[in-house]
Structure 1
Amino acid sequence: MAFRLMIQIWQQQAQINMDSPVKAQRGREAVSPAAAPDGGYAWFILLSCFLVFGLTFGVIKAFGVFYFEIQQYFETTATGTSWITSIAVGTLHVVAPVANVLSARYNHRSVVVAGGLLCSVGVVFGAFARNLIELYLTVGFLNGLGYAMTWTPTVTMLGLYFEKRRPMANALASTGECILTFVLTPLFQLLINSYSWRGALLILGGLQLNLCVCGMLLRPLQATRDVNCEVKAEEEDLSLELLPKDNSEQSNPSCPETEELKISRVSDHVTIRACFEDPEEIPNTTMKAQDSNNRTNKTELTTKILRYVDYTLITNARFMVYSMFGVFAALGFFAPALFLVPYARGKGIEEYQAAALMSISAAFDLFGRVFFGWVANLRLVETVQQLTVTVILLGSVLLLCPLASSFSELAAFSAVYGLVYGATVAIHITVLVEVVGVKRLGSALGFFMLIRSSGGLLGPPIAGFFIDQMSDYGTGFLMAGVALIVSALFLLLLHQMNRRGQGSTTKKHDMHTDKMGQSVRAEARELDMT
């Protein structure tokens, strides 16, 4: 019996030796990310992210020009028309974690290129839609799916390339939304007047192929490694019998696959040694080795899952509070841009002046993002405090919108709204990085977008419902303003949690310092006594 067990153990050892080249190859791939360069090729990543912001959220904001035409063509309500953009925004948020997993499994470049193709196909097919349902499936779902596969990986890559200048980089990248909104809004109106809304959608589909070019600009950071894991694995295997027990159990954090291989080899060595020293202990030793291998397999599986989806974020209280802010903020973020042009048309303002309101908003939005992103980069105040103030101001401005009726009043509202909106959007991703850390940004961004999806999906239809009930587009702005002020309450809660966390850290540091001081004084007294 003992001889048969020894043969099985030697066979397992031979299989491990056959698998070791594969493990070593995996070890060479498991490299730690390089430090953010904050320059060089990082500026091309910023350019790519700039264009992605413009061709996703910029198109969403400028799409309000299509609303009046589509609503009249299909003879539907404001609620029915609003579902087109609402489905696109909701799909963008829901599919964001999937886009992050695909980027981790393959690479950011291929995912963004595929997303750009989906956006183009969705909009082109939408140009031939015969009813609203087909528009929901094409311009809504397919287009939103492509948005998720382009926006999420690009923003994640931008966070990896910038560290010291991250607030400013996020602000500059988000200005793509403003500039393209400024350009696309009158352009869409011109295309609609020249080629109808169907022809304008065909041209938009061709324009969104540029998202594929943005994906081609993405290049992963060059990771470095000083020690070859394969060589190290062989050296550790040869020295298992020579090193003391304490040294042989030390792990190498930079080579996780090699560590798993080493653990399995240690268990086999222990089992083989037990066969010669105490044959009666063979069953117990074999069971211990099997338990060790099972624990190693579970650890490996958990590591692989966390590499793609960091599900532990749902236990992070600060992250969940910030996600609730995102839900209520999304209720108010998208409705105003969609209904500003129809609201102006309802007040009797002619079509090109109504479209110009979005351009005015986009121009001040651009200034707000750059200026307040620069302010955030100075670190004069906590970023979460700055975000809280801008969100409250944004909600207050939206509550005042129904008081405007003439073009000059609406132009003033558009300018103030764009300025405060830009100040808000410029830093909300930076706050997310501060909450979870840059290493978890990819998974955090995916989960944040997923949780926020309910707000992005329901915001425009809820605003449209109030508009249909009250026969006044101004009620949609009131709903958005209330939602934003409620979202600011969660930012205040997050700020208090940050303060408590800093206070507990300071207390621990003070206690540690006191203990060190007491030990030093005790040693001094002993020296005096001697």
Structure 2
Amino acid sequence: MWQINMDSPVMAQKARVVVAPAAAPDGGYARFILLSCFLVFGLTYGVIKVFGVFYVEIHRHFEATATGTSWITSIAVATLHFLAPLASVLSARYSHRSVVIMGGLMCGIGVVFGSFARNLSELYLTVGFLNGFGYAMTWPTTVTMLGLYFEKRRPVANALASSGECVLTFVLTPLFQLLIDSYSWRGALLILGGLQLNLCVCGMLLRPLKATRYVICEVKAGEEGLSQELLPKDDSEQSKPSFLDAEELRVSDGSDHGTIKAFLEDPEEIPNSTMKIQDSNNRTKRAELRTKILRYIDYTLITNAKFMVYSMFGVFAALGFFAPGLFLIPYARSKGIEEYQAAALMSISAVLDLFGRVFFGWLANLRLVEMVLQLTATMLLLGTVLLLCPLASSYLELAAFSAAYGLMYGAAVAIHITMLAEIVGVNRLGSALGFFLLIRSSGGLLGPPIAGFFIDKMSDYGSGFLMAGASLIVSALFLILLHQMNRRGQGSSTNNHHTHTDNMGQSVRAEAEELNMT
């Protein structure tokens, strides 16, 4: 309990309360949040990877170009990234649970309507935009919730949650190849739409994290002073993301009382007093408006140099992340690989992807090396693997490539969201994730079509992998720049500490010399 005594007879009219941030439990109900995030990863990014099976059939059915067909996936990915800040705002305004349920409904409806599409434009609208809108409502919101529930084990939790993408890719790729053979690609899409309605169930699992809100429950005004007692009160809505750790306690004195007192002492001062009170009220209103805006979306992140450098890494990484998964099966089919063997390549990639996420997530949790260095090495290796892909032609060579690609891809995905939390802090993760995905949306939108453009020009799917590999290597350069910024920041902090210590030592020596002289 806190007591605030003020030596003033003025009665308080307004007060702000101190909000204690919720502590991450790292256990208990956090396991259900982890399960929800696991399924969300599988039903969003896992489905994006599985769409390579549909790509071949849609490409044939509409007799479209590789660029035209790839726009379906790129629109979904870009919409996911571009509308992620909207998900952050809606989560802060309403709740994580309701936003994810709404997103699940949009995903299911979009894919079901897409099964009746008569041309590529209708697929762009349904499977592309509407489905991507649902992804934007579900994935960032669930990942933010996971970050609130885990702190000490956050790298491992993110790695385990993201492994849902691998598990469902492994299961769904051969399953949907079988469904396409049995019911055509339209029937398979209809079943996929029903499957994605399970995202609503994932949303129901998102229980708000309880925090402590200290509210004014009693106000006592006496002749000698003002006493306010603050008592703790549970508030389940504190799971909503906010970059503010706590709000300052502010008590404003009664404006009417102050005006009357000033008038009695000096009637000529009343205009000045009134203007001062009005200016104070205007400043208070502006501060309250700014606090409300920042609660929903932290626009100050654009002034964070490290965050912007990391966002540029995200743009070039997105250019290369999504094209290989989309074109791996068509590339194998172009080399004469049988359709089920080609689909099995995605399953091989998913198994190694799963191992990479769990192992490298655990490795990051040990903090043996800086996370930015681990991510840099991973991106360089992943880009190199993609550049070597066109050399593979037989099934065994393609299987080896799929394994290497899956391992490195899993290592990158396991820590790149955790890295974002390291840069901005967990309290700003909701807004940071939204802005990060918004900036990265350009890479997600243009990556597959650019790869498709090279494929159409070169008449070879291998050229798409070359483009993706080059983009990933460029993205690693921004991580190197971020590492240098971190080192400079640590160096300046150390210098400031030494300077402060030297100043303290000099003052102590000066005092000692004065004592000796006296």
Query: Under a length normalisation based on structure 2, what TM-score does the superposition of the two structures give?
Result: 0.92
Q: Is the 8 A contact 2:173 2:343 kept in 1?
A: yes
Which of 311, 331, 336 is equivalent to 2:299?
Answer: 311
Which of 109, 119, 124 is equivalent to 1:136?
Answer: 124
Q: Is the 8 A contact 1:161 1:221 kept in 2?
A: yes
Provide structure 2 residue ranges, at least 5 long, that are not aligned to the other structure. Answer: 1-10, 227-244
Q: How far apart, CA to CA, are the structure 2 residues paired with 1:75 and 1:240?
A: 87
Q: Which amino acid aligns with 2:348?
A: I
Quote the offset at 1:514 in angstroms: 1.3
1:128-175 per-residue CA deviation (whole Å, 9 max, x = no partner) reads 001000000000000000001000110001111111111111111100
Partner in structure 1 of residue 512 of structure 2: 524
Quote the offset at 1:528 in angstroms: 3.6
User: 2:59 matched to 1:59?
Assistant: no
Q: Which amino acid aligns with 1:437?
A: G
Q: Is the 8 A contact 1:267 1:292 kept in 2?
A: no
Partner in structure 2 of residue 286 of structure 1: 274
Partner in structure 1 of residue 102 of structure 2: 114
Partner in structure 2 of residue 7 of structure 1: none
Which of 414, 431, 450 is equivalent to 1:426?
Answer: 414
User: 2:139 matched to 1:148?
Assistant: no
Quote the offset at 1:212 in angstroms: 0.5
Measured at CA, do residues 461 and 240 of structure 1 come closer, stay the same or move farther in structure 2, by a change above 3 Å? farther
Q: Is the 8 A contact 1:104 1:308 kept in 2?
A: yes
User: 2:37 matched to 1:49?
Assistant: yes
Q: How far apart, CA to CA, are the structure 2 residues paired with 1:239 and 1:521?
A: 51
Partner in structure 1 of residue 263 of structure 2: 275
Spell out structure 1 runs of 4+ moving beyond 6 A: none
User: 2:514 matched to 1:513?
Assistant: no
User: 2:21 matched to 1:33?
Assistant: yes
Partner in structure 1 of residue 84 of structure 2: 96
Percent pairwise identity: 79
Partner in structure 1 of residue 216 of structure 2: 229
Q: Is the 8 A contact 1:345 1:351 kept in 2?
A: yes
User: 2:401 matched to 1:407?
Assistant: no
Partner in structure 2 of residue 372 of structure 1: 360
After superposition, residues 9-408 of structure 1 pair within 5 angstroms as 31-225=19-213, 227-231=214-218, 234-235=219-220, 238=221, 242=225, 256=248, 259=250, 262-263=251-252, 265-408=253-396
Quote the offset at 1:214 in angstroms: 0.5
Q: Is the 8 A contact 1:46 1:158 kept in 2?
A: yes
Structure with the bigger percentage of strand: 2
Give the 3-state SS of the residue equivalent to 1:385 in structure 2. Answer: helix
Deviates more, 1:430-439 or 1:451-460: 430-439
Q: How far apart, CA to CA, are the structure 2 residues paired with 1:272 and 1:381?
A: 65
Q: How far apart, CA to CA, are the structure 2 residues paired with 1:322 and 1:240?
A: 58
1:380-427 per-residue CA deviation (whole Å, 9 max, x = no partner) reads 010000000000000000000000001000000000000011001100
Quote the offset at 1:529 in angstroms: 4.0
Quote the offset at 1:516 in angstroms: 1.7
Partner in structure 2 of residue 480 of structure 1: 468
Give the 3-state SS of the residue equivalent to 1:331 in structure 2. Answer: helix
Query: Under a length normalisation based on structure 1, what TM-score does the superposition of the two structures give?
Result: 0.90
Q: Which amino acid aligns with 1:131?
A: N
Q: Which amino acid aligns with 1:455?
A: G
Give the 3-state SS of the residue equivalent to 2:332 in structure 1. Answer: helix
Question: Root-mean-square deviation (CA), in Å?
Answer: 1.8
Quote the offset at 1:202 in angstroms: 0.7
Q: How far apart, CA to CA, are the structure 1 residues paired with 2:312 and 2:451?
A: 20
Give the 3-state SS of the residue equivalent to 1:334 in structure 2. Answer: helix
Provide structure 1 residue ranges, at least 5 long, that are not aligned to the other structure. Answer: 1-15, 244-252
Structure with the bigger percentage of helix: 1
Q: Which amino acid aligns with 1:490?
A: F
Q: How far apart, CA to CA, are the structure 1 residues paired with 2:105 and 2:153?
A: 31
Q: How far apart, CA to CA, are the structure 1 residues paired with 2:285 and 2:499?
A: 40
Say how many residue pairs are matched: 491
Q: Is the 8 A contact 1:229 1:255 kept in 2?
A: no
Measured at CA, do residues 527 and 481 of structure 1 come closer, stay the same or move farther in structure 2, by a change above 3 Å? same
Quote the offset at 1:266 in angstroms: 4.6
Q: How far apart, CA to CA, are the structure 2 residues paired with 1:320 and 1:346?
A: 40
1:85-123 per-residue CA deviation (whole Å, 9 max, x = no partner) reads 100000000000000000000000000000000000000
